């Protein structure tokens, strides 16, 4: 009886060490990519293409948001963190020992997205002050900005999201600005887009590549003209709210990680980027 128990114990121990062995092997077989839902489609599609060429490598992609991605790579919970914003000073301080390194894989614009019903009713452009007033609760009805007499559903995002940082930087000059007029908080780009599409009077912040027939992006004022969030305007840099899409690693990437990042920044990766609706800037 005792022998059987001992045998079982050793068996389990063996199992465990094999499992640990797999997870801490020097040669990486699984690459974990976590973070921004803006960058995720690029990573997922690139992962599919890359895995076809390197059959032993598995690349696992999860969303969660830019903050989650940076936190994950900072703590060693992922090999690549995806971010649609820059790493903040606070994050740099938190992960000082890790030496976060970013690699630009693409570029994207952040649209002030509104329900297509409002857009089609005539609200096709907004000034920064108008957006600021909407988000701080001073403007409550679309009528005040030239639209129908309907209350505005102001949609905010979770505080760590890359899209929010970039948007708030543009509107309030503060990545952590509070939006007092907010009526709803969403997380991923999916959720944001769904909510704007479902409503007929919503405004939110969305990656420009995610706009569609139900969710239109207003043109923003730059100088004397209004610039729409089209691919051309983002590519040329005319659109005022642009951010780099980043893969963040802990230190310099080596081995298969480096290969994957090079792949995404290379020719095939670039075609994936543009097919997904984003842009790449040569020489970045």
Positions in the binding site for another protein (CB under 8 A)? 1-2, 5, 15-16, 18-20, 22-24, 29-30, 32-33, 40-41, 44-45, 47-48, 51, 58-65, 67-68, 71-72, 75, 77, 90, 94, 151, 153, 156, 158-160, 175-176, 178, 182-188, 190-191, 193-195, 197-199, 201-202, 214
Pick the closer one to another protein by CB: 55 or 283: 55
* Shortest Å, Cβ 236 to another protein: 28
End-to-end Cα separation, the chain, in angstroms: 67
CB of residue 41 to another protein, shortest distance in Å: 6
Cβ count within 10 A of residue 202:
22
Q: Decide whether 35 or 239 has the Cβ nearer to another protein.
A: 35
Residue closer to another protein (CB basis): 30 or 173: 30
Which CB sits closer to another protein, 32 or 222?
32
Q: How far is the CB of 105 from another protein (least distance, A)?
A: 16
Min CB(218)–another protein separation in Å:
19
CB of 241 to another protein, least distance (A): 20
CB 156 within 8 A of CB 136: no
What tokens were used for 278? 């984003």
Closest to 246 measured CA to CA, from 76, 108, 110, 103? 103
Class of residue 90 by CB neighbours under 10 A (exposed 0-12, middle 13-18, buried 19+) = exposed
CB of residue 57 to another protein, shortest distance in Å? 10
Q: What share of the chain is helix, strand, coil (3-state, %, to 5)?
A: 40, 25, 35
Count of C-beta atoms within a 10 Å radius of residue 119: 18
Question: Can you tell me the distance from the alpha carbon of 198 to that of 146, in angstroms, rounded to the nearest whole number?
Answer: 21
Measured from the CB atom, is 118 or 219 closer to another protein?
118
Torsions phi, psi for 253 (to 5 deg): -75, 145
Choose between 121 and 197: whose C-beta lies nearer to another protein. 197
**Strands 184-186, 58-64: pairing kind:** unpaired
Whichever of 185 and 238 has its CB closer to another protein, that residue is 185
| Minimum distance, C-beta of residue 255 to another protein, in the bound complex (Å) | 17
Distances (CA, A) of 143 to 8, 118, 121, 134, 148: 73, 10, 11, 12, 5
């Amino acid at each position: 009886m005792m022998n059987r128990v001992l045998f079982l114990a050793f068996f389990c121990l063996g199992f465990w060490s094999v499992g640990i062995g797999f997870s801490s092997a020097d040669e990486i077989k699984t690459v974990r990519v976590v973070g921004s839902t803006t960058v995720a489609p690029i990573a997922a599609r690139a992962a599919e293409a890359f895995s076809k060429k390197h059959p032993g490598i598995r690349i696992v992609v999860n969303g969660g948001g830019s903050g989650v991605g940076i936190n994950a790579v900072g703590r060693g919970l992922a090999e690549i963190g995806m971010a649609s914003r820059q790493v903040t000073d606070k994050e740099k301080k938190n992960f000082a020992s890790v030496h976060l390194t970013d690699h630009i894989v693409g570029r994207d614009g952040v649209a002030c997205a509104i329900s297509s019903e409002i857009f089609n009713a005539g609200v096709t452009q907004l000034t920064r002050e108008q957006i600021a007033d909407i988000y701080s609760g001073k403007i409550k009805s679309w009528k005040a900005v030239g639209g129908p007499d309907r209350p505005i559903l102001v949609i905010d995002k979770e505080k760590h999201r890359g899209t929010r940082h970039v948007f708030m930087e543009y509107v309030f000059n503060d990545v952590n600005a509070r939006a007092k007029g907010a009526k709803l908080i969403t997380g991923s780009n999916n959720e944001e887009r769904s909510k704007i599409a479902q409503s007929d009077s919503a405004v939110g912040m969305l990656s420009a590549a995610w706009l569609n027939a139900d969710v239109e992006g207003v043109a923003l004022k730059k100088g004397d003209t209004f610039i729409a969030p089209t691919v051309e305007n983002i590519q040329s840099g005319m659109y005022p709210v642009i951010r780099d899409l980043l893969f963040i690693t802990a230190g310099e990437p080596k081995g298969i990680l480096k290969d994957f990042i090079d792949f995404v920044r290379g020719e095939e990766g670039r075609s994936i980027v543009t097919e997904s609706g984003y842009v790449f800037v040569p020489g970045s």
